[in-house]
Amino acid sequence: MGDNNKQSSISGENLIVTGGRVLTPQGFIEHGAVVIKDGILAYVGGAEAMPAGLVTADTPVIDATGCVVAPGLLDVHLHGGAGCDVMDATVDALRTITHAHGRHGTTGMLAATITAAQEHLEEAAAVIRQVMPLSRQPDWNGAQLLGLHMEGPYFSVNKRGAQNPAYIRHPDQAEVERIISIIGSGLKHMTIAPELPGAIEMIRWLKQQGIRVSIGHTEADYEVTMAAIAAGADHATHTFNAMPALHHREPGTVAAVLGDDSVTAEVIADGIHLHPGAMNLIYKTKGACLTCLVTDAMAAMDMPDGHYHLGELPVQVIDGAARLENGSLAGSTLTLDRAVKNMVELVGVPLEEAIRMATYVPARQLNMLEQKGTLAVGKDGDLCIFGADLLCRHTVIAGRRLVK
């Protein structure tokens, strides 16, 4: 991870951003400035106090007057965008997806696979491995690809959502070992249903490998979920979605996830997957530091309504809601800047806390807080600059402005 990051600093550029409200870990700096040198944050503070001579006189400047200058957004759960799917398993598909999400302020992401045949997962892993270093090169006009999130295939058939039941199976360590032999430490995150035979043992083993384990697509009751947490699972995949409903005598997965402070809860904040009241319940129980905004976006993100695929399954998108023929939600068309906006406008979360859920929290879940997640000198020069409408106006990755 550290070595990968050095590559970004070598290929990074210089940039000055001035005039906006700059969000730091200590709060907003009104009329702030950010200076990026060789792709790394060299100054974060008031515009008046900006030291001269950090960068050369011909360094490009972004005037962020009226904007909010935030750390680059990070998405640990997305499947596609702009017509392409991670399961296409091509460099071009990942180029398109990282660009589409980059346009909306995402500067780093995991590519999420879905439940599929082992050979297909291996193909996808091989391409992700190939693209990870490419996405740190100066000519990559998109979010950095930080690794793989395996969403499945070890899931509950009854809580499959849009996962293809033909490929859902019981945990098999040999399969995961083959993926690791292809992608190495690029396997960052795995979603698993803890009630399956062998799942608790697999959670313990994944944790030992340094892979973050997330609970999802599950029918686990409260006790089994707590056992999964004790075994090392500390993340919940799209909380409430593809989990048993919260019931006062059968509290189930949701109560365990919301009630345990070691678990970070994903939220798909599109206003479709969750009622704003459910979004608020997650926020009130977990707080901003344990709530992780994700898009779970599929190929129809940044595209018109119509017919698409999620993996092999046909999906119809109507009014931005992606569904299988049986009505199951099939990923989203959400962008991460809009997720932040929705938390502010639908739930009433303070802006700085909504941003934290898409920056600091995913950076921590990626074990990348030393490089990403907040604006502090020495971290990567990645920015999402929000306009007054709380949507992304400019994206900066390693000091380079993304060309939309």
Active site residues: 296
| C-alpha span between 53 and 76 (Å, rounded) | 37
Measure Cα distances from 283 to 42, 168, 171, 344, 348 in Å: 33, 31, 32, 11, 10
| C-alpha span between 157 and 147 (Å, rounded) | 26
CB 166 within 8 A of CB 149: no
Tokens standing for residue 360:
């600091």
Name residues whose C-beta falls within 8 Å of residue 308's C-beta, 6 or more positions apart in sequence. Answer: 83, 298, 299, 300, 314, 315, 316, 317, 322
CB 175 within 8 A of CB 113: no
CB 369 within 8 A of CB 28: no
Strand order in the sheet with 187-192: 73-78, 106-113, 144-151, 187-192, 212-215, 235-236, 264-268, 291-294
Cβ atoms < 10 Å from Cβ of 318: 9
Eight-state DSSP code of residue 265: E
| C-alpha span between 272 and 331 (Å, rounded) | 10
| C-alpha span between 318 and 54 (Å, rounded) | 50
| C-alpha span between 84 and 300 (Å, rounded) | 8
Alpha-helical (H) ranges within 220-346 are 222-231, 252-259, 276-286, 336-342
Name residues whose C-beta falls within 8 Å of residue 97's C-beta, 6 or more positions apart in sequence. Answer: 78, 80, 81, 82, 84, 85, 86, 111, 142
